[in-house]
Structure 1
Amino acid sequence: MTGRRSDACAQQPAAREDPPVATTVHRAPGLLRCMLEERRRTDTVWLAHLVICDESPDVTGDDSATVEAFVAAARHGVADTTQALHRMQQGTYGICEACGKDIPLGRLRNLPHARFCVRCQRRAAQRWSAPLPTAPPW
């Protein structure tokens, strides 16, 4: 065998470029689906544990109002993730419900069940926290 390489070996593949960074949900649906499913499992297990604790308050030492607040939060978490998985199935996941623009992937990684982009979420929060009109002093 000589020191020459065959033509096939001489042609080296072009340097691979890094894949583009996923900036929208459309480029990383598998990861987000796994995150949502894991979150729903975790919240469901936590909810079952809390229901048992609510029936036996001696287990946690928490008062019933605290346990009820935890139960409500866990139920809310299960509902949020279930709705997000439904939106994913319908093809509307990752789209802001207010403005119709894509929700950035970074926001969905931090809050996988997000329904609004940050801008629209802030607007909604401002509306919700606006002071109620006061009654006239008379």
Structure 2
Amino acid sequence: MAYAFDDDQDVFPPLLSKDEVEAEQQDWLTRLRQLYSTLEGWLPAGEDFGVTRHEADSLDPVAKKAGVTVPIKVPRLQIEHRSSEKRLQIFPESRWVLLTRGRLFLFHPLGRTYIEDHGAPGVPDWRFYPYRDRSQNAPLNCAEFQNLLDGLR
């Protein structure tokens, strides 16, 4: 979410209400769980990959401004290739990142990457790109995910 100052109106748009923020948080959690399930479904059958999901508390500044005081439990995902002990870790950065519907960090042996949702409500469009290089964003699909898994083998 971003706010732009309107010189003609001399007012800022209203901040999200607590109810709106809580609804956005639930949508964010649903999209994260769906993404993780999709990624797990793309793991090659018969290979020695281990998956761990866990949750961490998160209280976003936007939520705080809206009066939310209880952190949400955001899911994190770790995929490990047991024979190499290399791992890929995904964890949410924030639901509210400019020009996105949320951003995650992805750490893997090939480096640090962002995953962002550039879709519309109800239609996620997950994309990833190298850390601090948005010019190379690519759709997060099964083929690209397999390239990331190659770094774990």
Give the structure with the larger strand fraction: 2
Give the structure with the larger helix fraction: 1
Larger radius of gyration between Structure 1 and Structure 2 = 1
Q: TM-score, normalised by structure 2?
A: 0.27
